Amino acid sequence: MSVPHAQSQSGNFKYNMSSQIANVQLSPVGKEISVFPPFVARQTETLILKEKLMSLSGDSFDICLANGQPLIRVQGKLGTISGRKKVYDVGGKYLFDIYKEHLHIHSTYAVEVEGQGKIMEVKSSFKLIGSKMTASFKSADGRSHSLTMSGNWLSTTADIIDESTGALVGRIDRKLFNAREIFGGQQTYALVVAPGVDMALMAALCICMDEKNNEK
């Protein structure tokens, strides 16, 4: 049977990715890790993110699943020192804000819910090779978590580990893409999320990492 010809760049992208992503599987976590239960992955899910997510235009953008289905929408604000961003679900319901905190030795970002205060802190730390960032938060059941991203995520892969259990909860993987694959005019990377893990929370972590790695 002949393969149907994709009519658009995004269509080509989704077709090229489908067979590769189908082979990527992570083990379920022992206990659910979530702040936003509706966004918990029920199977291994792959999110597609663009480098330099927030361009100078400050326009909104969607973070999508590998099949092209939007997961969340991020709206940036131009001219804010903190680079504050508001995040919504696909129906337009507000979820949280992301912004940079100042007066820290190392780059520090906060995830905050209006009326509730800060729900997650993401802090960078020095590493000779690659990048390291740690996200600290309490899940919906009250348990404290520290997720550490360590690796050379700008070139190959980086694992996101739950420090309390050692479980692999996510993986940033550029090897899923051909060297020249472009989506919407920008290079992309994949965020693979383990079953039982909050995809919105993991997307927030990646937004913070992207901000850190594109600081001037």
Arithmetic mean of pLDDT over the chain: 77
Domain assignment present for residue 1? The answer is no
Domain assignment present for residue 41? The answer is yes
Q: Which of 75-89, 114-128, 132-146 has the highest mean pLDDT?
A: 132-146
Q: Which residue has the higher pLDDT, 119 or 15?
A: 119
Share of the chain above pLDDT 70, in %: 66
Domain assignment present for residue 4? The answer is no
Length of the chain: 216
Domain assignment present for residue 75? The answer is yes
| pLDDT reading at 135 higher than 80 | yes
> What domain count does the chain have?
1
Residue 56's domain comprises: 9-213
Domain assignment present for residue 3? The answer is no
Residue 142's CATH number: 2.40.160.200
Note the pLDDT of residue 124.
81
